[in-house]
Structure 1
Amino acid sequence: MSITLEAIHLLEDRLQSLLSNYEFLKKENEILLQSSTNFQQKILEQAQIIASQKKEYDLLKIAKTIDGSGTDTRDTKLKINTLIREIDKCIIQLQE
């Protein structure tokens, strides 16, 4: 009988240990998920900042080219022509 009781106590101890480990891992998983979400949000914010700065850089590049201080005048003229065509298309669509 004593061996059976010892086995039950050992089983209870192991079960308690497993439950304790489960709760710890569950909390750790929640923390990691929150951290992951925060990092993903920061990555999205940084991507938006990069996109905004790239647009600003492109605008500055166009402005310098129009000013005549750069070597990309041909590219700028092509970009302006493309923008004008897009604006014309929009105007035509609005008139329909």
Structure 2
Amino acid sequence: MNGLSELIDSLEIKFFKLNQKLVKLEKRNIELLEKIKVSENIQKQQSDEIVALNKQLDNLKMVNSLLGSEENKRETKLKINSLIREIDYCIAQLSD
């Protein structure tokens, strides 16, 4: 009987240690899931910021080209021609 009680005690100790490891792993899993959520939020904010900055850059390029800087004369002419075509199209639609 002494060997059986030692075996049971040994199993209880192993079970207790295993249970402690499980609790630690579950806690770590929760921490990592929270970090993932924070990282996803940061990524979304940065992505939104990139989109906003790209729009701002496009607007600045357009303003710069419309101001007629020497670097962007070709772009300015193309933009003006595009705007003229749009205006002509609108006038034609109103005339019909």
Return the index of the structure with the highest Cα Rg.
2
Percent of pairs identical after alignment? 29
Q: Structure 1 residues 20, 70: CA separation in 2 closer, same or farther (over 3 Å shift)?
A: farther
- 1:41 aligns with 41
8 Å Cα contact 1:64/1:70 also seen in 2: no
For each residue in 1:39-62, what CA deviation from the matched residue of structure 2 results, as whole angstroms up to 9, or x when unmatched? 011001001001101110110011
- 1:28 aligns with 28
5+ residue gaps, structure 2 = none
- 1:47-62 to structure 2, matched below 5 A, reads 47-62=47-62
Q: How many Å separate the matches in 2 of 1:40 and 1:63? A: 34
- Displacement of 1:78: 4.1
Identify which range, 70-79 or 21-30, moves more after superposition.
70-79
* Structure with more relative contact order (C-alpha pairs < 8 Å, separation 6 or more): 2
Name the SS for the 1:55 alignment partner.
helix
Q: How many pairs does the alignment contain?
A: 87
For each residue in 1:10-37, what CA deviation from the matched residue of structure 2 results, as whole angstroms up to 9, or x when unmatched? 0000001001100110011001001001
Q: Structure 1 residues 15, 76: CA separation in 2 closer, same or farther (over 3 Å shift)?
A: farther
5+ residue gaps, structure 1 = none
